[in-house]
Structure 1
Amino acid sequence: MTDHRTALAPALRSMTVLVAAVIVHDKANDRVVLLQRGPRAKFGQGMWDLPLGKSEPGEPITDTAVRELYEETGLTVKPEALKLAHIVHGAQGVQAPNGYLTVVFSTHDWTGAPENREPDKHAQVRWTEVDALPEEFVRTSAGALRGYLDGGPLMTLAGWR
Structure 2
Amino acid sequence: MADGAAQMMLPVVAVALLDEQGRVLMQQRPLGKQHGGLWEFPGGKVEAGESPQQAAARELAEELGVGLAPCALDAVGFAAEPVLAKGRRSVVILLFAARHWQGTPQPQEGQNMAWYGVEDLAALAMPPLDYPLARALVAWRR
**Percent identity for Structure 1 against Structure 2:** 27
- Superposed, which structure 2 residues align to 1:4-153 within 5 Å? 14-26=7-19, 28-41=20-33, 43-91=34-82, 97-119=88-110, 122=111, 124-133=112-121, 134-151=123-140
Residue 44 of structure 2 aligns to a residue whose secondary structure is: strand
Separation of aligned partners in 2, 1:74 and 1:118 = 10
In the superposition, the TM-score normalised over structure 1's length comes to 0.73
Q: Compute the displacement of 1:102 (Å).
A: 1.4
Answer whether contact 2:119 2:138 (CA < 8 A) is retained.
no
> Which residue identity lines up with residue 23 of structure 1 in the other structure?
A
Q: Highest Rg: 1 or 2? A: 1
Q: Compute the displacement of 1:92 (Å).
A: 6.1
Q: Compute the displacement of 1:117 (Å).
A: 0.5
Answer whether contact 2:12 2:92 (CA < 8 A) is retained.
yes
Q: Compute the displacement of 1:137 (Å).
A: 1.5
Q: Structure 2 unaligned runs (5+)?
A: none
Q: Over aligned residues, Cα RMSD in angstroms?
A: 2.4
Structure 1 consecutive aligned stretches of length 4 or more whose deviation exceeds 6 Å: none
Residue 66 of structure 1 aligns to a residue whose secondary structure is: helix
Q: Structure 1 unaligned runs (5+)?
A: 1-10, 153-161
Answer whether contact 1:33 1:125 (CA < 8 A) is retained.
yes
Q: Compute the displacement of 1:131 (Å).
A: 4.0
Separation of aligned partners in 2, 1:109 and 1:57 = 26
Residue 110 of structure 1 aligns to a residue whose secondary structure is: coil
Q: Compute the displacement of 1:55 (Å).
A: 1.0
Alignment deviations for residues 15-42 of structure 1 (CA, whole Å, 9 cap, x no partner): 311111111112x31211110112112x
Residue 18 of structure 2 aligns to a residue whose secondary structure is: strand
The change in CA–CA distance for 1:113 and 1:101 in structure 2 (over 3 A counts) is same
Alignment deviations for residues 21-73 of structure 1 (CA, whole Å, 9 cap, x no partner): 111112x31211110112112x1111000001011111111110001111111
Alignment deviations for residues 105-125 of structure 1 (CA, whole Å, 9 cap, x no partner): 111111211211012xx3x12
Q: Compute the displacement of 1:129 (Å).
A: 2.7
In the superposition, the TM-score normalised over structure 2's length comes to 0.82
Answer whether contact 1:91 1:98 (CA < 8 A) is retained.
no
